[in-house]
């Protein structure tokens, strides 16, 4: 179910069908999921179209509904595997319905990104609340980064990376912990901006952060990219123009509320 202002719009049935099949065979492993497990994965997105989609897949023989100790469970019917894969790989199922398009809804009403062809209803990180998202389009293959804060610590972050084929979650830790990934990357940003002179502000790009903290950034720079988005949202850094195709950043002087700039530099 999609919330837009005061209105609620249900997820299109074809999208639910693809989502259900993805959770059963999308990672190349044939899973068996109980009814309550599927509903838990739906989270706040659950609506009556989910039930319609699930029952339709069963009625068409694509899913088998079994029962164990009075608990319903579902598995993809091996004899209908080709049909299931067609639904899974049909990009048309990732489009929003005409009804939703008429409302003018786009994903950037939920955050900073905007996409109408990536299904977002993968399981979200447990114990975290959605904060904002950003979108990239490398080589025309769209990716969405959903950024979350832990419910019990608003300076602890996780990111859910969504593509048209898969989802994964990266945990960056808390800025309250000196040895977390996010803290290591924050100190690197400070060092790149000030060097040996705390009063001097220099510009840096994502590649500079990657070169300085390769382990923390990861091989594909995703953690660094996410960290910069978080620091910008917190107003710890600001954009300073471009260097080729890369955005230049510098620190603003703001820092985590429990530390001073000197504390960060001298860790």
Task: Give counts: helices (H), strands (E), the chain.
Answer: 10, 11
Profile the chain (267 residues) by mean pLDDT over runs of 10 residues: 51 88 80 88 85 94 89 91 82 38 39 39 75 72 83 93 76 92 93 73 89 79 92 95 92 77 48
Q: Tell me what pLDDT residue 96 has.
A: 34
Q: Tell me what pLDDT residue 92 has.
A: 40
Instruction: Give whole-number Cα distances, 201 to 196, 249, 252, in Å.
Output: 11, 10, 9
Q: What is the CA radius of gyration of the chain?
A: 22
The 10 Å Cβ neighbour count of residue 45 is 20
Q: Tell me what pLDDT residue 135 has.
A: 73
Q: Going by C-beta distance under 8 Å and a sequence separation of 6 or more, which residues neighbour residue 201?
A: 193, 194, 250, 251
What pTM was computed for the model? 0.56
User: What is the distance between the terminal CA atoms of the chain, rounded to a whole angstrom?
Assistant: 46
201 phi and psi angles, rounded to 5 deg: -110, 120
Q: How far apart are CA 132 and CA 108, in angstroms?
A: 9
The 10 Å Cβ neighbour count of residue 104 is 8
Q: Tell me what pLDDT residue 207 has.
A: 92
Residue 179 near residue 164, CB atoms below 8 Å: no
Q: Tell me what pLDDT residue 115 has.
A: 38
CATH architecture of 2-105: Orthogonal Bundle (1.10)
Give alpha helix (H) positions in 3-59. Answer: 13-25, 35-42, 48-59
Q: Tell me what pLDDT residue 56 has.
A: 94
Q: Tell me what pLDDT residue 256 has.
A: 84
Q: Tell me what pLDDT residue 44 has.
A: 77
Could you tell me the residue ranges of all domains in the chain?
2-105, 128-265
């Amino acid at each position: 179910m999609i919330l837009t202002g005061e209105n609620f719009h249900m997820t299109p049935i074809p999208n639910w069908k693809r989502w259900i099949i993805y959770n059963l065979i999308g990672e190349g492993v044939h899973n068996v999921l109980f009814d309550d497990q599927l509903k838990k994965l739906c989270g706040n997105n659950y609506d009556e179209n989910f039930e319609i989609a699930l029952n339709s897949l069963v009625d068409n023989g694509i899913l088998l509904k079994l029962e164990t100790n009075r608990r319903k469970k579902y598995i993809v019917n091996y004899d209908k595997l080709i049909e299931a894969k067609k639904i899974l790989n049909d990009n048309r199922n990732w489009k929003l319905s005409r009804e939703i398009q008429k409302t003018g809804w786009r994903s950037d009403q939920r955050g900073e990104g905007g996409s109408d062809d990536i299904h977002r209803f993968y399981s979200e990180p447990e114990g975290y609340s959605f904060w904002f998202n950003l979108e990239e389009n490398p080589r025309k293959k769209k990716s969405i980064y959903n950024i979350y804060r832990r419910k019990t610590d608003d300076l602890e972050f996780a990111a859910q990376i969504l593509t048209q084929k898969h989802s994964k979650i990266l945990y960056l830790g808390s800025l309250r912990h000196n040895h977390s990934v996010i803290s290591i990357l924050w100190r690197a940003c400070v060092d790149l901006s000030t060097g040996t002179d705390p009063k001097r502000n220099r510009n840096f790009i994502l590649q500079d952060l990657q070169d300085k903290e390769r382990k923390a950034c990861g091989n594909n720079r995703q953690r660094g990219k996410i960290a910069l988005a978080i620091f910008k949202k917190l107003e710890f850094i600001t954009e300073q123009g471009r260097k080729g195709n890369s955005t230049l950043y510098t620190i603003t002087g703001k820092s985590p509320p429990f530390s001073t700039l000197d504390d960060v530099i001298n860790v």
